[in-house]
Structure 1
Amino acid sequence: MEKRQPTPTEPQYFILAALLDGPLHGYGIIKATERATDGRLRLAVGTLYGALERMERSGLVAVDREEVVDGRPRRHYRLTQDGTGTLEREALRMQQAAAVVTGRLGTLKTARA
């Protein structure tokens, strides 16, 4: 039986989306989320690592590799199969929700014209 994941928060959603192209380290995830949202979502370091920790415990992301850069450890995270499924389900849920609203807005505009 498939374990049902809770709906990801907006930061979690964009963190998962950032990892679609492959493993990234924290700063890479922050920059990818900023690009994906045209700068609207700017993840604070604490927010990012708290979310990554929770998502790692839930099996949505995993540490891909660790390296030391300038004497500091750097972890690269990757999307897991569960993470991909969660991201896909959430994207479809949002698409369906948006279709309901845009369809009704279109009907409303037509009625007012």
Structure 2
Amino acid sequence: MARKKLETLTEQMYYVLLSLRAERHGYGVMQDISGLTGGRVSVGAGTLYALLERFEGDGLIRRTRTEEKRKYYRLTPEGERALFAEYERICRQASDMERVMKEEAP
């Protein structure tokens, strides 16, 4: 069964959008994600630039400026909604896990 368009985000997608709550260029996004996650999550250049193109086409981010060869991006209101929808989905999953663990506790 095909996944609906951006119904859920991959971990890398989530962190790219999270990083773009502030204006950043591609390499800055990669650095921010590594810092946010303590190196646990990394996004390669090819993946990142494909996501930036997709997100820009979907209206989740917009290019804010270009300086030298660096393109800067920032989350749009639609991107903010997608990010928070994913956050809420993750919280529901964590809540389900906590409930199951409590029910199984002796």
User: Please, what TM-score do these two structures have when normalized by structure 2?
Assistant: 0.90
Q: 2:10 is matched with which residue?
A: 9
1:36 maps to what in 2? 36
Asked if residue 85 in structure 1 is aligned to residue 86 in structure 2, the reply is no
Higher-Rg structure is 1
Gaps of 5+ in 2: none
Q: How far apart are the structure 1 equivalents of 2:101 and 2:67? A: 51
| Mean Cα deviation higher: 55-64 or 32-41 | 32-41
Aligned residues: 102
Name the counterpart of 1:48. 48
Please identify runs of 4+ aligned residues in structure 1 that moved more than 6 A: none
- Measured against aligned partners, the alpha-carbon deviations of 1:73-101 in whole angstroms (never above 9, x if no partner) come to 10000000100000001000110111001
Structure 1 CA distance for aligned equivalents of residues 91 and 60 of structure 2: 21
Question: Hey, what does 1:97 align to over in structure 2?
Answer: 93
Query: Could you tell me how far apart the structure 2 residues matched to 1:5 and 1:105 are?
Result: 30
Partner of 1:62: 62
What is the Cα-based RMSD across aligned positions, in Å? Answer: 1.3
- Structure 1 residue 5 displacement after superposition: 4.3
TM-score where L is the length of structure 1 = 0.85
Q: Which SS does the other structure have where 2:88 is aligned?
A: helix
Helix, strand or coil at the partner of 1:41: coil
Secondary structure, counterpart of 1:47 in structure 2: helix
Counterpart-to-counterpart distance in 2, 1:27 and 1:10: 18
